[in-house]
Amino acid sequence: MAEFDDLFKKYEGLIPESLLNDVKDHLPAKVKKSDVQKILEKLHIEYELAKIDAGESVGLIAAESMGEPGTQMTLNTKHAGGVSELQVTIGLPRLIEIFDGRKQLVTPSMEIYLSDKNPSPDKVSRIAAKIKETSLNELVKTIEVNVADATIEVDLDKNLLAKYGIRTQAIAKALQKGLKNVNVKVKEDSLFIKLTKEGEELNKLYALKEEAKKTFVSGIKGIKQVLPVKKGDEYVIMTAGSNLKKVLTFEEVDSYKTKCNDIFETLKVLGLEAARQLIIEEAIKVLEDQGINIDIRHIMLATDIMCATGEVKGITRYGIVGEKSSVLARASFETPIKHIIAASERGEIDKLSSVIENVMINQAIPAGTGLPSLRIKSEGAVKK
Amino acid sequence: MAKSTPIKHSLVPKHTKMGERSVKELLEKYNISKVQLPKILNNDPALKGLGIKVGDVIKIERKSLTAGNSEYYRVVADATKVSGTSGGES
């Protein structure tokens, strides 16, 4: 369709790119230039008609469009999606989590893609084992207290060490770092842990043994569970727990595609726009899982509001509602008395410039036809 | 991690710093002032290596799900002056 390029170019910026591409894809093999011109003219008119009018209450429409299908969603989170699947929050609780801007997720998780696009299943599980947060307990055959020498003897499992790709020396180092007042010695596949302070009682030694078991020796902190799965042609490691910053530095990890479901972690590591994109993707994922059809424009609007101040703010009285300039608007959402008392203490003035406060005092609201100044310039219009 | 190159990630769209003239054109086109633009904090990881200062306007080229490509604009705000009360109770 190269001969129409100049024609399409003319409409760039007037019609969205996706629509132009649609037209390009659906043009019949033989078509006259004048016809293409006519198509584009008509499309432009239709597009302008489809645009929402200035002053329309888009937020209200978005709220209703999301609120009603929300009542149809799963309320039960305890249900596991499959046998070997990791547990992930789904349905309404997850949607609330996303839009409230919760910082502590119920089930943080990651989707780790590999830089090697065609690895052997063996290699995948090796990488997965390397990423997983591992404590000493998982690597030992036996761990015993030798009462006579006042030492803890750790017998490491050779096969597991090979599988996780950890050396005995590294474990000894991690133990030395993780435990206080101890001396760790290596002898082949065994470790001997001794308290440095002489004359300590035995029960201290037993406590130390329990502590040693829980000591973090390898992997990435925060990744509690790993599950390699095949997604299409690609291997993906799903995890419970997340640590985006650390995982992205891993050589074996595709740092372009790897994601986590924690919005605030993404905000910190990849920035505001990435967080915005993630909110949209996560919200769509929840809704699609539930078989609910909401136009994504509603979600995008809500997300843009959440991200407007440079931070991610939830749709709560602490988040975007707390940003409203009007006292009455804030009070009408939640905890009215608190807001009104605090406002009177500060001597706040309500300029009645938005919708809710005007509904409350029975005045024409500045929305739709109540907002003519968006469309026309009148002589007496007050300049703000 | 101490690189100054912008992050390459599927979630991060292209950020560019706008020149003064194009900022003026933008503000005139929509008949707005800079404060009315959405904000982005100056410590945002995606702005690394762009050499920005507070008050600059950043053009963001998003891959939109509805329109193919879309442009968005944010003005750089000072991170230290933001309340920091984001998020809800958890």
Give residue ranges of B with CB < 8 Å to any A CB: 1, 7-13, 15, 38-41, 44-47, 60, 62, 64-70, 74, 77, 79, 82, 84-90
Q: Do B88 and A18 touch (CB under 8 A)?
A: no
First to last CA, chain A: 50
How many beta-carbon pairs under 8 angstroms link A with B? 119
CATH of domain B14-79: 3.90.940.20
Cβ atoms of B32 and A279 within 8 Å: the answer is: no
Q: Which of A17, A101, A308 sits opposite B39 (nearest CB)?
A: A308
Cβ atoms of A17 and B63 within 8 Å: the answer is: no
H/E stretch holding A22 reads helix A17-26
Across chain B, mean pLDDT equals 82
Cβ atoms of A236 and A111 within 8 Å: the answer is: yes
For range B73-83, the mean pLDDT: 83
C-alpha A4/C-alpha A27 separation (Å) is 11
Q: What is the pLDDT of residues A301-359, one digit of tens each?
A: 999 999 998 889 988 888 888 878 888 888 888 888 998 999 999 998 988 888 888 99
Q: What is the pLDDT of residue A85?
A: 62
Cβ atoms of A176 and A195 within 8 Å: the answer is: no
Half-sphere exposure of A19 (CA within 13 A, CB side): 21
**What three-state secondary structure class fits A6?**
helix
Q: Do B38 and A314 touch (CB under 8 A)?
A: no
Half-sphere exposure of A370 (CA within 13 A, CB side): 12
- Contact residues, chain A, for B44 at CB < 8 Å: 271-272, 310
How many angstroms away from the CA of B68 is the closest CA of chain A? Answer: 5
Domains of chain A: 67-106+261-309 (1.10.1790.20), 134-218 (3.30.1360.140), 324-374 (1.10.150.390)
Percent of chain A with pLDDT over 90: 16
Ranges of each domain in chain B: 14-79
Q: What is the pLDDT of residues A135-166, one digit of tens each?
A: 888 888 888 887 777 788 888 887 877 777 77
Q: What is the pLDDT of residue B85?
A: 47
Best to test chain B binding among A89, A243, A269, A273 (most B CBs inside 10 Å): A273
pLDDT band at A198 (very low <50, low <70, confident <90, very high): low
Query: For A174, phi and psi rounded to 5 degrees?
Result: -65, -40
